[in-house]
Amino acid sequence: MYTWKDPINKICIIVLSISLYLFFDDRQFWFFQASSEFANDSNKPRDTEAELSVVGVDIQSELNGKNTVKLREIVDHQTNLRRFGRCEPTLGESIKYRVENGIYTWVDSKGITNYSDQKPKHHAALYQPKSNRVLDYFELTITGKTVTHSFKNALIARLNAIFRSYTSVIGLKAMRKVTLSIEVLPNRHEYERVVKSYGGVGVNTAGIYFGNKNKVLVVQRSYEDTMQTAVHEALHAINQAVIGYSPRWLNEGLAEYFEAIQVNMQHAKIKPQYFLDKHGRIRGNIVTPLNLVSAEHLWKTEQAESLYKSSWAFVHFLMSSNSGRQTLKDILLQEQSEPCSSLSAKQLKGILASKQPKLVAAFQTYLNLPIKTQRL
């Protein structure tokens, strides 16, 4: 006999089947988070100029069987940096070398360990480590009830590779020591409680960086989401320690770029993480570099999502050539010379005009070609 309960039972079975499939396929979709994101997006503060970095919830939806679209919540990072951060590193936080039995040991700008009976020519300070670490450049602590040894080792490997890559761009002499504690909280309730105890707001965020305490808080989600959020926030810590305050496109562009790093043994690579079309090109509108450096005020508008993608694209473009990396180096060094202020659009355009006279054409060519994985 057919009853009114039969359709309900069938619907329940279908919903349960879909839920189980998504769960075991590691693609859980939490509807209350998605609805919260879209409901609050137009009212959320977005930015002015700083760095208690906050990365929002990333929801990935599969498209065409292989490509993903990344949605994020936009939060006011830069104002938070002014509130919780500091623009100048503590004295003595420069790269250091050690000497033992008359042999000097240090790591050069390419991340290669050097041994010599002569003191390095750069102005690094003497450091005699308590352990057998060669270089005391990245003091990192990772804690959390849900943190496994595998996750911790993978995160350390990614951050060490990032630090080496950052050093290869800016040079060893310009690097500064980074001290950072990353804590992964087991659930959203605990995450928001701890963030609040530090004076911040954890609602609608997945990670947050307190520069004045050298502390990153991350909420536990899927393995890769938690990993990328931790890496993203650590990049803001590196930026703060090395260059101080910076324009939003530079701060977020570097964090977006490096958060997708993958490490295998001693090899690291950056895979494109924004949605690409069937030809491997970035889909959607991209703000050109000259407009991007003048768009600081637009991060508070509905264009913020496009600015994230455009910032990533510009950094990816700069990292794709020797001339681009030299341009990025000049920008970073100029920022470092004035750590408590950000370069103006006029200053940035002056650097770009000098180092990238054919920038408009070169960037357009970059956008017209498939975006390639970069090896660091």
- Please give the biggest Cα pair distance in the chain: 92
In this prediction, residue 131 carries a pLDDT of 43
- What's the alpha-carbon Rg for the chain, to the nearest Å? 22
Q: Rounded to an integer, what is the distance from CA 94 to the centroid of its chain?
A: 22
In this prediction, residue 33 carries a pLDDT of 29
Q: Which amino acid is it at 219?
A: V
Instruction: Give the C-alpha separation, 162 to 231, whole Å.
Output: 9
**Could you tell me which residues come within 8 angstroms of residue 81 by beta carbon, excluding any fewer than 6 positions away?**
49, 50, 51, 52, 53, 211, 236, 240, 245
In this prediction, residue 346 carries a pLDDT of 95
Residue 66 gets which letter from DSSP? T
Q: Which residue did the predictor score with more confidence, 304 or 69? A: 304
In this prediction, residue 265 carries a pLDDT of 77
Please, which pLDDT band fits residue 178 given cuts at 50, 70 and 90?
confident
75: nearest Cα among 247, 308, 285, 283: 308
In this prediction, residue 100 carries a pLDDT of 63
Site of tokens 């959390």: 144
- What residues pair up with 113 in beta bridges, in sequence order? 107
Q: What is the dihedral of CA 326, 332, 333, 336, to 10 degrees?
A: -170
CA atoms within 13 A on the CB side of 92: 3
Per mean pLDDT, which range of 59-63, 251-255, 313-317, 359-363 is the poorest?
59-63
Instruction: Give the C-alpha separation, 255 to 344, whole Å.
Output: 20
Instruction: Give the C-alpha separation, 288 to 307, whole Å.
Output: 10
Residue 301 gets which letter from DSSP? S
Q: In what order do the strands lie in the sheet with 207-210?
A: 54-55, 207-210, 215-219, 178-185, 138-143
Q: CA quadruple 211, 216, 217, 221: dihedral positive or negative? A: positive
In this prediction, residue 56 carries a pLDDT of 31
Per mean pLDDT, which range of 12-21, 47-56, 240-249 is the poorest?
47-56
| Segments making up each domain of the chain, as ranges | 46-95+137-375
Per-residue pLDDT of 30-57, as tens digits, reads: 322 223 332 333 333 333 322 322 333 2
pTM of the model: 0.70
Which stretches of 326-370 are assigned E, i.e. beta strand? none
Please, which pLDDT band fits residue 173 given cuts at 50, 70 and 90?
confident
Please, which pLDDT band fits residue 62 given cuts at 50, 70 and 90?
very low
The CATH code for residues 46-95+137-375 is: 1.10.390
Q: Which amino acid is it at 265?
A: M
Instruction: Give the C-alpha separation, 363 to 344, whole Å.
Output: 21
Instruction: Give the C-alpha separation, 83 to 45, whole Å.
Output: 15
Q: Both tokens of residue 302? A: 């509905």
Looking at residues 357-374, what average pLDDT do you find? Answer: 93
Decide: 33 and 57 in contact? Cβ < 8 Å.
yes
Instruction: Give the C-alpha separation, 360 to 206, whole Å.
Output: 36
Residue 204 gets which letter from DSSP? T
In this prediction, residue 77 carries a pLDDT of 55
**Could you tell me which residues come within 8 angstroms of residue 169 by beta carbon, excluding any fewer than 6 positions away?**
319, 325, 328, 329, 332
Report which listed range, 97-101, 113-117, 308-312, is most confident: 308-312
In this prediction, residue 60 carries a pLDDT of 30
Per-residue pLDDT of 269-305, as tens digits, reads: 998 877 788 888 888 889 999 999 999 988 887 788 8
Q: Both tokens of residue 279? A: 């030809």
- What residues pair up with 70 in beta bridges, in sequence order? 60
In this prediction, residue 140 carries a pLDDT of 86
**Could you tell me which residues come within 8 angstroms of residue 341 by beta carbon, excluding any fewer than 6 positions away?**
87, 245
In this prediction, residue 133 carries a pLDDT of 41
In this prediction, residue 59 carries a pLDDT of 25
Please, which pLDDT band fits residue 172 given cuts at 50, 70 and 90?
confident
Instruction: Give the C-alpha separation, 45 to 51, whole Å.
Output: 14
Per-residue pLDDT of 199-228, as tens digits, reads: 988 888 899 999 888 899 999 999 999 999
